Amino acid sequence: MKSLLPRLTSSLFFRLFLIFSATVILFLIIITLSLRQIDQNWRRERTAPLPVFYLDNVRLMVDAIGVPPDLRRAEELARDLSLTIIIRSPHINWQSDDQSDLDISSAVFMRELSDDAQMLAVGNEQVIRVARGGYEYFLNRKAPSLSDYDIAVVYIGLGFAIFILFSNYWLVRRLLDPVNRLRQGAEKICEGDLGYRVEVTRTDELGELTESVNHMADSLQSMLEAKRQLLLAISHELRTPVTRAKLQLEFMEDNALKDTLSDDINEIDLLISDLLEAERLSTQHSALISDDVDFADFISMLTSQYQNEEELLELSLPDEDRSMHIDKLRVRLLFANIVNNAIRHGRGNPVHVTVSFAEHEALLEVKDQGEGIPAEHVRHVQEPFYRADNSRTRNTGGFGLGLYLCNLIAEAHGGRMEIRSNVGQGTIVSVYLPIIEH
């Protein structure tokens, strides 16, 4: 029992239950007190004895109304003296206050006031009846409306209710503040910052959830780091037998088998290089060896290296070049992968390479006129080892690492890569790089 009480008092759900319970109770108390105070005020006014002024001057009031009654004069008197006046006869059924709920038919005789005047009781209210000239005149104090006091009570109660609501909002917001920190932490972890940890300041359910999220991030970081280290170790270890195979290949006679083996070994070597480069770039501390480069001129120089495909490449450059701080080797690799893909899948049509500048970023766009990529594959082609064409032959591409590596290079520079494609019309790969001048 002793250990259960601290857990109960530190429980988030228990505290929320207390807050909402207190809010409901306070609202009920405020509404009950306000209505009771207003009701007591109304009862005081409606059950108090009629003032002596009414009793002493009832004959004068009836004389002022006249026989037969002047209804306009009766209405003026009712308004000036805060009365409800009811006039009955075989020909008239009139009352000054349409909102009055006074039931004259249930009136009970109390006492005689004069020869033609009587005091009647209708419920808890007193009514004066005067019979004159075949007409019955009933005079009663008008039902009270909300007084200034009643209005003040309503506004004070409303003010307390608003204060309680805002207090409730502040308490709940403070109680759920760790949810915002959890959301920010989850976003950072999703962005790849696995070293980020959410500060734990509570011992309730949200505190336990925060610790679970931090533990999950620890586990993810450990697993990814173990995977990365294993991949790097295997890739490095594979370099040695590949190098030996290349050396042994040089001693073979030139024939079709040697060419086939050479292509296979070079393909494995390229895969190892791409894997190593991808793992280096996917780390948070990937180092770029950056230089100041005239970007349009640099892309023009890269394009000129495709002399065998000169008739396939069409280059469009801006009138004015911009200097940028980039890693030339990584950007060269990015350009080569994108252009090679465009040529391979361009069905022999020209490939358009365009360079343009916005205020704070450069755009490198490569457009082919090939078979295009189906819509369901476009969002996946930047994933490692993903290919829209599942038949992995040299005619249709490599290992599915090219565009993944290009995306990593763009992100390492603080940019992004976008791919748009229509089946039968071609594909456009757009690389946006921030302009950082030094």
Omega before 68 cis (within 30°)? yes
Q: Does residue 416 share a domain with residue 300?
A: yes
- Taking phi over 0 as left and psi of -120 to 50 as alpha, with beta for the rest, 111 belongs to beta
- How far is Cα 259 from Cα 249, in angstroms, rounded to an integer? 9
Neighbours of 71 (CB within 10 A): 15
Question: Can you tell me the distance from the alpha carbon of 107 to that of 272, in angstroms, rounded to the nearest whole number?
Answer: 107
Residues 210 and 324 in one domain: no
Instruction: Give, in order, the Cα–Cα distances in Å from 320 to each of 83, 290, 297, 415, 438.
Output: 92, 22, 10, 21, 18
Are both 95 and 127 inside the same structural domain?
yes
Q: Using 50, 70 and 90 to split pLDDT, how confident is the model at 429?
A: very high
- pLDDT confidence band for 391 (50 / 70 / 90): very low
| Alpha-carbon distance values, 399 to 261, 270, 395 (Å) | 18, 10, 12
Determine which of 105-119, 137-151, 164-178, 303-317 has the lowest per-residue pLDDT on average: 137-151
Do 136 and 152 reside in the same domain of the chain? no
Same domain, 229 and 111: no
More confident residue, 26 or 433: 433
Q: Are residues 316 and 426 in the same domain?
A: yes
Q: What is the dihedral of CA 248, 253, 256, 261, to 10 degrees?
A: 0
Q: What total number of domains does the chain contain?
A: 4
CA-based Rg of the chain, rounded to a whole angstrom?
46
| Mean pLDDT within 94-116 | 79
Q: Specify which of 17-26, 199-208, 309-318, 351-360 reaches the highest per-range mean pLDDT.
A: 351-360
Q: What is the CATH number of the domain that holds 368?
A: 3.30.565.10
The domain of 211 spans 183-282
Give me the CATH number covering residue 230: 1.10.287.130
Q: Residues 193, 330: one domain?
A: no
Dihedral sign, Cα of residue 337, residue 340, residue 341, residue 342: positive
**Does 261 lie in the same domain as 346?**
no
Mean pLDDT across the stretch 166-180?
75
**Do 37 and 153 share a domain, yes or no?**
yes
Q: What is the pLDDT of residues 324-359, one digit of tens each?
A: 888 888 888 888 888 888 888 887 788 899 999 988
- What is the reported pLDDT for 302? 86
In whole angstroms, what is the distance from residue 72 CA to residue 129 CA? Answer: 20
Q: What is the pLDDT of residues 241-285, one digit of tens each?
A: 777 777 777 777 777 777 777 777 776 776 676 666 666 666 554
Within 13 A of 59's CA, how many CA atoms are on the CB side? 6
pLDDT in tens, 19-29: 777 777 777 77
User: What is the rounded distance in angstroms from the CA atom of residue 408 to the CA atom of residue 404?
Assistant: 6
Same domain, 130 and 276: no
CA dihedral sign of residues 221, 222, 226, 229: positive
| pLDDT score recorded for residue 409 | 85
Same domain membership, residue 152 and residue 137: no
Report the pLDDT value the prediction gives residue 75, as an integer from 0 to 100: 85
The Cα 360–Cα 379 span in angstroms is: 26
Of 40-49, 163-172, 230-239, 409-418, the one with minimum mean pLDDT is 40-49
Lowest-pLDDT range of 129-138, 139-148, 399-408, 423-432: 139-148
CB 14 within 8 A of CB 6: no
pLDDT at 375: 82
Same domain, 412 and 339: yes
Of 97, 90, 88, which is closest to residue 69 (Cα–Cα)? Answer: 88
Of 250, 282, 314, which closes a domain?
A: 282
